[in-house]
């Protein structure tokens, strides 16, 4: 979950830089709900991906010096269902949206007992 949150923050930072968010680095960090040092770590991460980011003290905003597009694609079909069952020891996880189930819950059905379904909640 931390990985996804980090990607979301990078995407938000990218959008704010592209829209030339005005303010000091402290203001930008506050907008992202992170510390100033975390902001600079995120900026370094974008630089690792090839972005040339600078800060204009006069106009008080970060900007890209080069054309930069931040896009992360995560494939969801890396392995087959059979391989997934082997990894999960015969269990398959199915997300079932239900009015009665909580948001962070899921069900799974063991492939060796198709008539049984177990409900779990993620805390």
Co-location of 88 and 56 in the same domain: no
Entry pTM: 0.58
> How many domains does the structure of the chain reveal?
2
Higher local confidence (pLDDT), 40 or 112: 40
What residue numbers bound the domain in which 99 lies? 81-121
**What residues are paired with 118 via a beta bridge?**
108
Report yes or no on 73 lying in a domain.
no
Q: Say yes or no to pLDDT of 107 above 50.
A: no
pLDDT tens-digit readout, 33-55: 999 999 999 999 999 989 999 99
pLDDT at residue 14, rounded to an integer: 93
Co-location of 41 and 12 in the same domain: yes
- Within 8 A by CB and 6+ apart from 53, the residues are 17, 43, 46, 47, 62, 63, 64, 65
pLDDT at residue 5, rounded to an integer: 85
pLDDT at residue 93, rounded to an integer: 52
Tokens of 3: 């990985």
pLDDT at residue 4, rounded to an integer: 80
Distances (CA, A) of 53 to 6, 24, 50, 59, 88: 18, 15, 9, 15, 43
| Cα–Cα nearest to 63, from 20, 115, 4 | 20
């Amino acid at each position: 979950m931390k990985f996804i949150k980090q990607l979301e923050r990078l995407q938000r930072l990218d959008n704010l830089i592209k829209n030339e968010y005005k303010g000091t680095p402290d203001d930008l960090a506050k907008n992202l709900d992170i510390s100033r040092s975390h902001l600079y770590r995120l900026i370094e991460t974008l630089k690792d991906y090839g972005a040339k980011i600078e800060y204009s003290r006069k106009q008080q905003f970060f900007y890209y010096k080069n054309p930069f597009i931040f896009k992360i694609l995560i494939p969801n079909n890396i392995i087959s269902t059979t391989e997934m069952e082997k990894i999960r020891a015969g269990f398959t996880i199915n997300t079932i949206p239900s009015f009665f189930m909580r948001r962070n819950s899921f069900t799974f059905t063991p492939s060796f007992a198709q008539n049984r379904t177990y409900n779990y909640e993620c805390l």
